[in-house]
Amino acid sequence: MPKYPAWRYNCYMGRPLIGITLDIQESVNSRGVLEKRYWLKQALVGAVLKNGGEPLLLPFISGVQRARQVMEALDGLLISGGDFDIEPKRYGEKRRKECGPAVPERTESELMLLAASLAGAKPVLGICGGCQVINVHFGGTLYQDIPSQKKTDLGHSQTQPHARATHRVAVAAKTRLAAITGAASLAVNSTHHQAVKIPGRGLVPSAVSADGVIEGIEAADGRFIVGVQWHPEFLIRLKPHAALFRALTRAAAARKRHGALNVRRAGKTVS
């Protein structure tokens, strides 16, 4: 194989690797045995593939050092949603009776991966529960249960198929989300009973629903740290939602090139 400068190899010889966090569930197999299985919605993998990224599915990580090693090999991180709630003690609150079951090992894993991503200046997109993980990492709080904690006539947990948008959110001007989607308002789906209550340090709201619930957050300092409360993977037929995944993969590719340039400056090549 001919030799290429490292920067050219890294830039052109593959898609950016996007790590996607997995969920876990217990199910009974065909022999009647209860077992735990990792799982992920196919639509999320497809959204990354269709928009320029190479998805790599991430099992739960144990240990900070392991999280750093994993993120060193990746170009970006996508924190997926799931059928669970974050433990309220992680944001300094007592559990309300309406708060749902937690998966502590998943939340711990995602927080470590997120910290490693930020340390390596890798772009991060959080979807639904992933948006909430980002907020908690930065010291923000959550509504443990919107219906019992906030007066609203807006349904945030739709019974319609996920591919159907059921309400709109206003997109804040001059935010990264506005630049990505090119929209001042978005039609979104809604499958959550929790949401950002107080944004974490250094985060700003980027989208808000008509009842005042924060539906999007992002880093105020310009880093690619974006969280959305809806599920854009089911709406990628609409350009603004597909654009979220395209922006993530492009940011990951740019990060990949930036790292490769450091290798180029060192005069190294790969074969």
- Which residues make beta-bridge pairs with 203? 219
pLDDT for the residue numbered 165? 80
User: Does pLDDT of 261 surpass 50?
Assistant: no
Query: Encoding tokens for residue 126?
Result: 């959080």
Buried b (16+ CB within 10 A) or exposed e, 76-104: bbbbbbbebbbbbebbeeeeeeebeebbe
Measured in Å, how far apart are the chain's first and last C-alpha atoms? Answer: 6
pLDDT tens per residue across span 55-76: 999 999 999 999 999 999 999 9
Other beta carbons less than 10 A from residue 129's beta carbon: 26
CA atoms of 133 and 116, how far apart (whole Å): 14
Mean pLDDT along residues 67-96:
95
Torsion region of 128: left, alpha or beta (phi above 0 gives left; psi -120 to 50 gives alpha): left
pLDDT per position as a tens digit, 222-249: 999 999 999 999 999 999 999 999 999 9
Is residue 180 within 8 A of residue 243, CB to CB? The reply is yes
Which one-letter DSSP state was computed for residue 128?
Answer: T
Q: Which residues are catalytic?
A: 128, 231, 233
Token digits of residue 152: 């609203």
Residue type, 55: P
* Residue for token pair 């990505």: 180
Q: Is the pLDDT of residue 216 over 80?
A: yes
Is domain 4-270 given the CATH code 3.40.50.880 in the classification?
yes
What is the pairing mode between strands 34-39 and 23-28?
antiparallel
Query: 170-179: per-residue pLDDT in tens?
Result: 999 999 999 9
More confident residue, 30 or 198: 198
- The C-alpha atoms of residue 190 and residue 186 are separated, in whole angstroms, by 12
The count of other CB atoms within 10 Å of the CB of residue 183 is 18
For 134-174, the pLDDT digits (tens) are: 999 999 999 998 888 888 877 777 788 888 888 899 999 99
Q: Distance between alpha carbon 169 and the CA centroid of its chain, in Å? A: 18
**Residue 205 identity:** P
* 8 Å CB contact between 255 and 121: yes
Please report how the helices 129-137 and 104-119 are oriented relative to each other, as an axis angle in degrees rounded to 10.
60
pLDDT of residue 13: 54
